[in-house]
A = this chain, B = another copy of it.
Amino acid sequence: MRGTGKMTTGPVPPPKSILLHEVGLRDGLQMESRVVPFEKKAAWLSSLLDSGMDIIQVGSFVHPVKVPQMADTDELFRRFTAEKKSKTLLSGLVLNEKGLERGLACGVEMFCMGASASETHSRKNTGMGTDEALTRIIAAAKAALAAGKKVQVSVQSAFGCGFEGPVQEERVLKMVRAYLEAGLVNISLADTAGHASPAQVERLFSAVFALNAGADCACHFHNTYGLGMANMFAAMRAGVNSFETSFAGLGGCPFTRVAAGNVASEDFVHALQLDGRRKDISLDRLLEVARDAAALFGRDMQGFVYKTGPVRAKSAV
């Protein structure tokens, strides 16, 4: 690791706090046809908790027939909320009222739910168009808030759609306004298909902050076209302070067309630590999980640092 000389003198100061939201157990694994055994998921979740990530998404409450990989989400929550000692929040993705019910019953601490700005993606993902999906998600989100839970709402396909191509920014902002009017200020924009460019990311998040400067914005990028990490830094510059990543760079959405992995958690933490930030996170634990995932799936994952090891000060050779 480098010294602290790199920390504070950048031309534009980054946000005061950076929240790290690990979503590999959900957005990562849902793409994998090979169902990961419960005890393996539990071991990864345990290591991720040890790493100090701020929020960890444990799974989604989708019908087990639709995504068998997520069938043990309730059980994972019960195991870890019963004995959890760290301050890390455990989040779960819910897609409908039934999922909310399951999540409330098994101890979800933060509910993530969203609707797609792409009509086609929305119908494929939920069987409903954007408007209907949005209305139902807002109702579910308000119910979760009323139950005393933290809630993050998202706009999926916010930067483009694998089916429809470009997505009008006004469509996204209309959904954001609906969330804000419902009192939902924790808002994630998700680049489900990986179409976002850094300029677009800055522009769209700036437009969201123009609607409500106090919004808590999160971002979620897929690396389909090699722009995931660049978009993370563009979002940071726009004032976003919550960043969704997956260990090893796992990821993708089973109901969109072309989607590659998320930005790798360990690569993003490594990048922050190069600048002396979030040195409270154990990069070593993240690297262990990434290496273990690569071993389990038996293939090269999209992350970089789990292969190269981190930048270290080396003595001259």
Q: Chain A interface (Cβ within 8 Å of chain B)?
A: 2-3, 5-6, 9-12, 14, 119-120, 160-166, 193, 195, 197-200, 202-203, 206, 223-227, 229-230, 232-234, 238, 257-258, 260, 264, 267, 270-271, 274-275, 300, 303-305, 308-314, 316-317
Contact = CB atoms under 8 A, between A and B. Distances in A.
Given A14-B199, A198-B233, 19 more contacts: A9-B203, A11-B203, A11-B206, A120-B317, A163-B314, A164-B313, A164-B316, A165-B311, A166-B313, A193-B311, A195-B274, A200-B274, A225-B267, A225-B270, A225-B310, A230-B232, A233-B234, A258-B308, A260-B304
A308 B230 contact: no
Number of copies: 2
A277 to B, nearest CB: 9
A206 B9 CA distance: 11
Nearest to A249: B226
Given A230-B233, A316-B164, A197 B304 contact: no
A234 B229 CA distance: 11
A271 B10 contact: no
